Chain A
Amino acid sequence: MLDRPALLDVEGLRVRFSPKVEAIRGVSLRVERGQTHCVVGESGCGKSVSALAVMGLLARGAKRSAGHMRFDGQDILNLSERELQKLRGDRMAMIFQEPMTSLNPAYTVGSQMAEVLVRHRRVGKQQGLDRAAELLAKVGITAPGMRLAQYPHQLSGGLRQRVMIAMALMCDPELLIADEPTTALDVTVQAQILRLLRDLQQELGLAILLITHDLGVVARIAHKVSVMYAGEVVESASATDLFASPRHPYTRGLLACVPVPGTIKRGEPLGSIPGTVPRIADGFVGCGFRDRCAYAMPACAIGVPQRDDGAGHRHLCHLQ
């Protein structure tokens, strides 16, 4: 079925921060060229940690292992820090939720953008600035020349996120990892930034791994979706499939929680998921969702089967 390997192929990723607690328990993700793969879940489910683990940006002391982790067919699990640095910011780039904390407040937009190219491509500063101006224009910033000379605090939230995106594109990456890129923005600006990401993807053939808690964002931009819960991917499918026929009780619960404008019946309670996410310590077996699940049965405490409908819709549950 696949002639060319997926751009990013992660199998059985595990991350632990302390000897007793495993934050990521066997996550598998594939991101195809030119597509958007969304990882969705609530805080603490491990979606950001998974992204950081792929980029090799975990905090010191964190332990990472995987069946395999490949970028464009090449193993990236056992790269040295130097080899990783070459890859990061060049062929794979990352943007974060809060652009104010990821931009350096002491440098102008132009100098921090140019630095990316100066370091990776060994070009002169002026060449870096030219490329920066070109990309600022591409992400829809008017008067890029003026913006290059400004400091991050002089920009609005939406502009800062555009600068972050432009900066990530400096070396023409093949993969962009975006961790909650629109969460800190107003809805009106969110729509603009997502349109920008989609347009850039179509123009540059960019693969995007987008991490979000917002099912609205997922529905509108994703080709593939992975739903994470308590350190595992509990369901993955194409976006159309997932929203049309969610299979895992957690995915269904999550969808019921979101008030959808136009279908709201006031006075009726929203769907909600009772309880909270459990702490998964070592020796935990069975389904991590069973304490909150309306369909839990004794078998859920023993193990969970991975189900696959053969057409790419997989979920982790006893129920079909």
Chain B
Amino acid sequence: MSALLLTMQALLSHWRRHRVQGLSIITGLWLATALWTGVQALNSQARNDYARASAVVAGPAHAQLVAPGAQRFDQALYLQLRQLGWAVSPVVEGRLRFAAEQPLSVRLIGIEPLSLPPATNIAGIAAQDFDLQAFIGTPGQAWVGPDTLQQLGVKPGEQAVTSDGQVLPTLVLTPQLAPGIVIVDIGHAQALLHAEGQLSRLLLTDDSKPLPDAIAARLERQPGEDDTGLQRLTESFHLNLSALGLLAFVVGLFIAHAAIGLALEQRRGLIRTLRACGISLGTALSGLALELGVFALLGGLLGVATGYLLAAALLPDFAASLRGLYGASVAGHLTLSAEWWLIGVAVSVLGALLAGASSVLRAARLPLLALAQPQAWRLAQGPWLRRQAWLAGLLLLLALACYLWGNSLPTAFTLLAALLLASALLLPSVLDALLGGLARRCREPLTQWFVADSRQQLPAVSLALMALLLALAASVGVGSMTEGFRRTFTGWLDQRLAADLYVTPRDTAQALQVRDWLATQSAISTLLPSWRVELTLQGWPVQVQGIIDDPGYRSRWPLLELRAQAWEQLAGGTAVMLSEQLARRLGVQLGDRLQVLPAPAPGMTVVGLYADYGNPKGHVLVNADWLRRQRADAALSGISVNLPAEGIAPLKHELQARFALDDSRVVEQSTLKRWSTDVFSRTFAATAALNSLTLGVAGIALFISLLSLGQQRLGQLAPLWALGVRRGQLAWLSLGQTLMLSSLTVLLAIPLGVLLAWCLVAVVNVQAFGWRLPLYLFPRQLLQLALLGVLTSLLASAWPLWQLARRQPAELLRQFADET
């Protein structure tokens, strides 16, 4: 039998007697991989869907022509280019709304199949394979993906009806089409979007020729990808989720690391014997590495499978929040590639390497004559604690540097990670110092033992306590941030949504009719029409809203900063107000000049900044008359109405009947608030779930550490029993020790969590979303989390202590007896 095989046989025999320990390594790797791959599955699904959505039209068209500000333009420009011999193909785009419990909005893309470049694919279907007659003719075809079909609640071959009562062409299932997209012939699309004679862009095959001057003045060349900015807008959302997943991964690795370390400590004698018997160091290390590989593979396979299930469970909330926040459509089911599964297992192997590397290195440096002794372990821990403290100090400096000089999301996350890691590394030193201080005050023998023994247990349980610290701090931080956001958001909604009824007409023509009719209604106290233009400013999508001068805005618009006479200047058309996030993105402050619309429109002074939570796009407030003068295409997008409560329902019915507007176009304030808070709740549902799971993982880490310690601790407890301390009393004392360690950890986790909350609201949110929230602390929530932390450790220690209390004297006797 080869040396390696013999080594493996000897090493693996350990697990027959230490099954819990083996299970804990697998559990650690399993949970770490599950939470990480689960999050990555969600992100990967979303990114795939964005990519599919942006690559609906794939082929040799490398560039496109669009109007400045991404407005629609006259179809005549297309005809001019064709007459000049340019190979361009027109596309019109817009959104269609469908009545559902919550309004469903899909992206309608109209294409012109005859002019598409020859090798173009539309959702995987080659242009030459089109059934042109069916696609172009009447009623035509509307291609949809399976998810959209399901959301619409219709079957292939049927025709869907929009909330305006327009009938779509016959639906055709196109499996490769991204969710939330409908493709029709351009003629049908122009009719459905009320955009007759208008186009959104022109696909361009030949990117080398300069545009004719007459065209270049009205259209600009852009890269070919159909980038709706979704990747950019949702980047922060996915990064936040990844950060949580990473935290859970790290917490999971703590379990594996603790168990691998303990297994090595227990096998120091075995390794020493193996080497004394002639097994080379290389063979022993190979054996350990192989063993680690087996664990990694088992944990990885289990983890990836669980990650898939976790992602599938979280996907509905995840998709709903992406839809609600960004209008991004994500499939309702997971379709993950084989690559994802392989990466999942690779992550587990990497995790195992990270968790086990230090143990294998320690085994490599193990002096042959070294004996495993608990107190020696603790004393040897001294230099480790010092090194950890140094590293923690360096990490704190890094965190400080990120705070002072960082101005991006990665530096914000580095700040968070450095802070958390530094705190975790400092925890054993802090606990050791606290217990040391306590030990000096103890006089009673059992109290003395209680503290001294707790201190001796520290090296074995410190990793689990670090995991508990991280998980609790994350819970406190994320919980405070979420609750703070909820409070701020609710207050902000109350301010911002002050009108009783919100009307969103189909188009400007109808809006003007609605406005004129509403103006004749005597019950209405305030009528606020709102004009809108969508454009891009320095690459960011921006909504420019034109408002009339009304005292209501002065009293309720949620301004964060404003200059003197701000509203008067806005009304005069010489100033603008910006949402906080847009101001940050553009780097402008009060008093700066901003060119909102392209020249020749004049630049204007920024006189106010306001909160605009939940809006991924930038928002600009200008005077309505000024906007209409500058942009003839500004749309009358919405009308807000105030009237006595008893008049709301009759007016709504009258509006719906008179102008054929459905429920999604005439919305009462309470409904709008409910929709907004629903989006909010769902956005944080995945966060809350991951948070709870992370805390659960920390609980499991503690449980496994205590269980692994259980057997070891007999040697420490038996002498006390022999000296007259009862078994029950020993169990209570052990429980007290666990509670003391976890309570101290909880006490340290709370200020750390508050600091984390501050980092989230004042640093990460600012970098991720552009808005800063006030920091709220919720003592009741902190108390609940503290109790939860203690309860978690209580539950974690329950089983090991139950076992201890039930130990038969014979088991304790074995600690003394060399013979019968």
Do A and B interact with each other, yes or no? no
> Which residues of A are at the interface with B, using a C-beta cutoff of 8 A?
none
